[in-house]
Amino acid sequence: MVNENKLVDGVLVELTDAEQSALEQVRVDWASKSGERKLKEIREIRLGKLIETDYLANSDVTMPDNIKTWRQTLRDLPANHSDEAAYDKLLARDSDGNLTNSIWSKP
């Protein structure tokens, strides 16, 4: 295994074995928490979508059934999508950065 380098006082020096091991552990930890990061992003997007339509839940507004159903579908996230592959589908974006999964589109 080739150790990576670090910059010390403007000079590249090789990482020690201990530093290299610590770096590898950080990378393993980061990769193992990918699902948690995706789940957090899904919850944040979901909350934003629900907030956008909260005004429809006021007592003086009649919420259309299709909006009620959509909001319930959002509230059911991510319970009905339980693996990382499903998270990837929910977070898929087009070339402009827009979410492509139909679940995010308000009816």
> What is the pLDDT at residue 2?
63
Q: What are the boundaries of each domain within the chain?
A: 1-32, 35-104
Q: Which residues of the chain have pLDDT under 50?
A: none
The confidence score (pLDDT) of residue 1 equals: 57
Query: 84-95 pLDDT, tens per residue?
Result: 888 999 999 999
Q: What is the pLDDT of residue 98?
A: 95
State in Å, rounded, how far the first CA of the chain is from the last one.
Answer: 54
Res 12: pLDDT: 85
Contact (CB, 8 A) for 42 and 104:
no
For the chain, strand residue ranges (E) read 5-8, 11-14
pLDDT attached to residue 17: 86
